[in-house]
Amino acid sequence: MIESILWLAVGLMVASSVIPRTSRVRKLIGGIGWGVFSIHWSYQPLHYLKIMDYANVLLTIVVALFCLLVAYIMFLEYRKGPLKIINNREVLHSKFSDQSEADSLDITSMLTSASALGALVYFPFANFASLNTLIIGGVTSQVTWVLQYLDIPAYMKAWNMISLNGYTVEIILACTAIESIALFMGLICAVRAPLSRLAMAFIVSVPVIYILNLIRDIFVVVAYGEQWFGADSFIIAHNYIAKAGSGIALFVISYAVLRILPELFGMIDGLWVILSNELKSLLLRSEGD
């Protein structure tokens, strides 16, 4: 059921992205897509609670609420027209008939396109067994090769498991960094910029993320196999140190991409203005009631 909900959301977002920007129907379809997407994310905290990954519990709850807010905004745009930002702060609705305004100010449609592109990169690996096995097995083999090259006596216990000193780490899809790779590919491809700058943004993000992820996996295997932090070595190494390192790395990579693609910053800044304005409006309305 969850898989069907996921693909329905992605299909609606893709459909919204290909519909002409002057058509109000794209907002309705996009809003429904984001609403369905929120259902998918609302199920994810249950999985992370089982494995005691509380950081991702909080993250998935925030993502689900974010999807609902975007859905609400797109429904408003369907009724009143795309949101237009005035003087970097004031938000007004414009007309669908104005092609120039729709192209330059349609922030939620750009976000929908970026999400659709990212989903098309990520979800095939998450839902098709052959691709899932390919990427997980590839990362497992590469991590094992590096460890053995460094004379660390690790070996592949199975196609997706690495053992060191009797302690075994299972490589899952989250250990491949495909989520972060899909995110950056979606954002980069959704921006209108010269091909040379798009290529440069890709180079400083996707390959770098993949290499840093291999280093992260190597660290977790060694920290757990050598019991660097005692009985809780895996939890400390994976859930705390590795996640903190990943967060810092993604922040630096994001900064580099934004320097190369200032258009992306414009989209993010516009999205922040729109979301904050609509959220304040909802809160004031609830207080009034």
Q: Which amino acid is at 46?
A: L
pTM for this prediction: 0.80
175 given a catalytic annotation: yes
Residues ≥6 apart with Cβ < 8 Å to 175: 136, 139, 213, 217
DSSP calls for the chain = -HHHHHHHHHHHHHHHHHS-TT-THHHHHHHHHHHHHHHHHHHHHHHHHHTT-HHHHHHHHHHHHHHHHHHHHHHHHHHH--EEEETTTEEEE--TT-HHHHHHH-HHHHHHHHHHHHHHHHHHHHH-HHHHHHHHHHHHHHHHHHHHHTT---EEEETTEEEETTEEEE--GGGGTHHHHHHHHHHHHHS---HHHHHHHHHHHHHHHHHHHHHHHHHHHHHHHTTTTGGGHHIIIIIIIIHHHHHHHHHHHHHHHHHH-HHHHHHHHHHHHHHHHHHHHHHHHHHH-
Q: Give per-residue pLDDT as tens, 142-195.
A: 999 999 999 999 999 999 999 999 999 999 999 999 999 999 999 998 888 899
Q: What integer pLDDT is reported at residue 89 of this predicted model?
A: 57
Q: Rounded to whole angstroms, how far apart are CA atoms 87 and 270?
A: 11
By the 8 A CB rule, do 23 and 95 touch?
Answer: no
Sheet of 167-170: strand order equals 155-158, 161-164, 167-170
Q: Which position among 175, 189, 259, 285 bears the catalytic label?
A: 175
Q: Which position among 24, 197, 216, 259 bears the catalytic label?
A: 216
As given in the structure block, the two tokens for residue 47 are 């999985």
Q: Give per-residue pLDDT as tens, 223-238.
A: 999 999 999 999 999 9
Q: What integer pLDDT is reported at residue 2 of this predicted model?
A: 67
By the 8 A CB rule, do 249 and 226 touch?
Answer: no
Q: Rounded to whole angstroms, how far apart are CA atoms 196 and 202?
A: 10
As given in the structure block, the two tokens for residue 256 are 């580099």
Q: What are phi and psi of 99, to 5 degrees?
A: -60, -40
Query: How do beta strands 155-158 and 90-93 pair?
Result: unpaired
Closest among 90, 89, 91 to 81, alpha carbons compared: 91
Q: Rounded to whole angstroms, how far apart are CA atoms 89 and 111?
A: 19
**Per-residue model confidence as pLDDT tens for the chain (289 residues):** 667 888 899 999 999 988 887 788 999 999 999 999 999 899 888 888 888 778 888 999 999 999 999 999 999 889 888 777 665 555 666 665 554 444 455 788 889 999 999 989 998 998 889 999 999 999 999 999 999 999 999 999 999 999 999 999 999 999 999 999 999 999 998 888 899 999 999 999 999 999 999 999 999 999 999 999 999 999 999 989 999 999 999 999 999 999 999 888 878 888 888 888 878 877 777 766 5
Residues ≥6 apart with Cβ < 8 Å to 37: 6, 9, 13, 67, 71, 115
Residues ≥6 apart with Cβ < 8 Å to 178: 121, 122, 125, 126, 135
